Chains A and B, each alone.
Chain A
Amino acid sequence: QKEVEQNSGPLSVPEGAIASLNCTYSDRGSQSFFWYRQYSGKSPELIMFIYSNGDKEDGRFTAQLNKASQYVSLLIRDSQPSDSATYLCAVRGGGTSYGKLTFGQGTILTVHP
């Protein structure tokens, strides 16, 4: 079983719709969760992080965390073509993992006009 799994893509949504990206993780002691956006040929850009159960909103982005279900998601409201990118879920494990992030394989999102 992969340590961090993301919903298989690619995901295609029309402009203005809500894009929903999902991620599950296996380490129950994981404490911090990150979403990165990566455009083709560019480096990952941190767009959201969440540490506590519940929702965290930042502009059009909402991260949701449910530690009991070991599930974290990212919602993008009013999707724009500029949101088209690969989205990487990253999880920092519990214990003395000394900052090691485990990444999911990424979900490719395409927002079409």
Chain B
Amino acid sequence: DTEVTQTPKHLVMGMTNKKSLKCEQHMGHRAMYWYKQKAKKPPELMFVYSYEKLSINESVPSRFSPECPNSSLLNLHLHALQPEDSALYLCASSPRGSGGSYNEQFFGPGTRLTVL
């Protein structure tokens, strides 16, 4: 298994809903990442987990809550989102812990989120 998977592919939610995005990899990668990408912009880093511990939080609002239950799984819990949070949410993983300099990141297909 050489890929990062994400579910769901699409998600529409209201501002009062609670939902979760899921990311999975079975490549034995030791770091996992959440990115947000708006149209015609590059990905923006949100969170980094290295060896299942949160190592970077890029000052993301608390309505986004990451969770890493085990080394293969990464969740992003969503609550009370705003319409401006509508975007493509990308998960990525890399073979070594995130502190390593030489460490390629591989992206999943993303979840297209729309907040009404």
A residues contacting B by CB (< 8 A) are 31-32, 34, 36, 42-46, 49, 51, 88, 90, 92, 94, 96, 98-101, 103-106
* Contacts A99-B98, A103-B42; A34 near B105 (Cβ below 8 A): yes
Main secondary structure, interface of A, reads loop
20 A-B interface contacts by CB (under 8 A) = A32-B101, A32-B103, A42-B109, A43-B88, A43-B90, A46-B105, A51-B101, A88-B42, A90-B105, A92-B101, A98-B56, A98-B98, A98-B99, A99-B48, A99-B99, A99-B103, A100-B56, A104-B42, A105-B41, A106-B42
What secondary structure prevails in chain B residues at the interface with A? loop
Cross-chain contact B103 with A43 (CB below 8 angstroms): no
Any A CB within 8 A of the CB of B14: no
B98 to chain A, nearest CB (A): 3
**Are B42's CB and A32's CB within 8 A?**
no
What is the CA–CA distance of A78 and B114 in the complex, to the nearest angstrom? 39
**CB-CB < 8 A to A103: which residues of B?**
42-43
Chain B residues numbered 98-116 whose CB sits less than 8 Å from any CB in chain A: 98-110
8 Å CB contact of B31 from A42, A43, A46, A99: A99
Sorting the interface of chain B by its residue count into under 10, 10 to 19, 20 to 34 or 35 or more gives: 20 to 34
Q: A57–B41 Cα gap in the complex (Å)?
A: 28
How many angstroms between the C-alpha atoms of A90 and B56 in the bound complex?
18
Residues in chain A near residue B34, CB distance under 8 A: none
| Chain B: minimal CB distance from A16 (Å) | 28
List the 5 shortest-distance A-B pairs measured between CB atoms, nearest first.
Answer: A99-B98, A103-B42, A31-B101, A43-B107, A43-B110
